[in-house]
Structure 1
């Protein structure tokens, strides 16, 4: 994104989600994974507050809706470092001769390094197994490894404003669950959502979004009827396992598919 187009903020993300929902129309079903669960819930909440239609279903997977619950190492870092620490230590300008030159960003390579550093032994063992698979001629296993790491390594530079505001709102101020998030003059209130069905998904071994952080959406969306709220714990799954690989294909996807099919009726405008 060229520097001259201006900044990109967390509330801009929320506004884009709303724009996408309005463009698709009332038949839309939303699925959000990890950090986007927070702005997606905010976007739908504000639409409900303003009396707009809301999606037929919301599926939220492994996201820090309330990062105070079962904090992980990721949460602890964000909570224990000041806003200025992040700005001074992880924000850099895009070098010349690259798209977006001059823009302040949280570089993708730093995010990637942080993820790998959380479980270095697991990644070393995975690459060693990949080497053995190549020697044995196990092409299927080797290709599965390549596909996973092609996706795992595909990180993106994030605009500094967006990144820093996310750290503050999600992991330091807990603005969504505390009811203090101001979106362009409107307080974000998930309790205004009434008709959208809700499914939350968490991994038993998730070390990025801890147990209960995503499920917190059930408490916040207090006016969604209980028979339209569902939660699924994925046994044996880490963070990536809930949306990638065998557990996603065999366990999680069928749950989401059936949930959307069951609740894929028109959502009425909020009263």
Structure 2
């Protein structure tokens, strides 16, 4: 019922958004002298702010059509190399003829980013992907919005997520470096543990976990405490709703994106209110650069996706309430996960000093779980002065974290591969 009311309200606002857009365009038209007045800029700013806060933000574009290698602009195109109903595996394919002409033939490392399936789209990692494009073959999981997946395509839970990750790793082969950002840490570790136990020849060279809830009992944060304090039934009764028609996923039970967004916003409500007020003032003052930065950030931040009921509830119970992976009790499709089976996949963990989503120690817990892994194949890094998003994006990520990741892949990752051949 709540989802239907939300959709009805969104549709009811459509003519008002259209009117706001028309007002903004009319005032800002080159021929309208009112656009240069304080009153005109104020009206246009109010119209744009109204439109931006009432809009449904669709899936963002990647906007990565090129990279720069040794000062040369190299074209990049998105390519789907594997697809199932709940996920596409994207490859950002660079123009190899141009690369060879610039620096000579060279085989770059393969990197698979396992993006979070926790509300935002994979494009939240745009900056992460962009950082490694110049010197890596970059792949990323592009998870589907549950609202867009037909009931005919079946259910999707945390076990299915783990199986998908394993399939994608196997597709890319043993020389791939797997990077799980935030939420997918536990299922990615589980997938690699199962591959190791099976002595799968396509188990990856390395695994990197960034701000991941491997063991949320360590340094619990506000979201962790909420997940533990509320009973499981509370999440099922209050956060799960039915997708209404005419969405492709009509009648599917989901944790709606708009509820997730409300949770994100309430965590730092004052900050978001101030940001929109500053946006309004920048528009009135004609500060186009600051206004554009606001638009870019919120176009991404406000774009959210629904999660399937079974995936969300199993994640709450297994990861945040029962801590099954951390306790050695995790099962995938009835098979227990033994993380001690990992003996030759190099392990890097990255945490942010000021992370208020995944506290210090939660990601580091992967080292304790991989008890059979030699110390020479392990590394931990805590980045000073960054929060959760700074772990995988921003200046400190580019200048400090990314170089450590490259070095780890090229040294410990290569060492892990070499050990298998000896």
**Cα deviations by residue, 1:171-224 (Å, 9 ceiling, x for unpaired):** 111000101111233211211111111111111111111111011001111111
In the other structure, the counterpart of 2:411 is: 262
1:47 and 2:47 aligned: no
Matches within 5 A, 1:108-187: 108-135=257-284, 137-187=286-336
Question: Between Structure 1 and Structure 2, how many residues are aligned?
Answer: 271
Judge conservation of contact 1:52–1:269 (CA < 8 Å) in 2.
no
Alpha-carbon distance in 1 for matches of 2:284, 2:397: 28
In the other structure, the counterpart of 2:248 is: 99
Greater alpha carbon shift after TM alignment, 22-31 vs 45-54:
45-54
**Cα deviations by residue, 1:20-72 (Å, 9 ceiling, x for unpaired):** 01111111110111111111001001111111132111111111100111111
Judge conservation of contact 2:214–2:363 (CA < 8 Å) in 1.
yes
In the other structure, the counterpart of 2:88 is: none
Change (3 A) 1:139 1:261: farther
Taking CA–CA contacts closer than 8 Å with sequence separation of 6 or more, which of the two structures ends up with the larger relative contact order? Answer: 1
Greater alpha carbon shift after TM alignment, 86-95 vs 185-194:
185-194
1:29 and 2:193 aligned: no
Alpha-carbon distance in 2 for matches of 1:76, 1:8: 26
Judge conservation of contact 1:51–1:269 (CA < 8 Å) in 2.
no
Greater alpha carbon shift after TM alignment, 143-152 vs 185-194:
143-152
CA drift at 1:160:
0.2
Q: Secondary structure at the match of 2:317?
A: helix
Greater alpha carbon shift after TM alignment, 94-103 vs 116-125:
116-125
Alpha-carbon distance in 2 for matches of 1:79, 1:215: 21
Alpha-carbon distance in 1 for matches of 2:339, 2:281: 50
Q: Secondary structure at the match of 1:31?
A: strand
Judge conservation of contact 2:376–2:412 (CA < 8 Å) in 1.
no
Change (3 A) 1:239 1:186: same
CA drift at 1:136:
5.2
In the other structure, the counterpart of 2:115 is: none
**TM score, norm. by length of structure 2:** 0.61
1:20 and 2:168 aligned: yes
In the other structure, the counterpart of 2:398 is: 249
In the other structure, the counterpart of 2:220 is: 71
In the other structure, the counterpart of 1:207 is: 356
Alpha-carbon distance in 1 for matches of 2:246, 2:369: 46
Alpha-carbon distance in 2 for matches of 1:142, 1:187: 51
In the other structure, the counterpart of 1:88 is: 237
Give the counterpart of 1:11 among 134, 159, 164. 159
Q: Secondary structure at the match of 1:230?
A: strand
CA drift at 1:14:
0.4
Alpha-carbon distance in 1 for matches of 2:270, 2:324: 35
Q: Which residues of structure 1 form unaligned runs of 5+?
A: none
In the other structure, the counterpart of 1:225 is: 374
Greater alpha carbon shift after TM alignment, 32-41 vs 146-155:
146-155
CA drift at 1:124:
2.3
Structure with max Cα Rg: 2
Judge conservation of contact 2:345–2:413 (CA < 8 Å) in 1.
no
C-alpha root-mean-square deviation of aligned residues, in Å? 2.0
CA drift at 1:137:
4.8
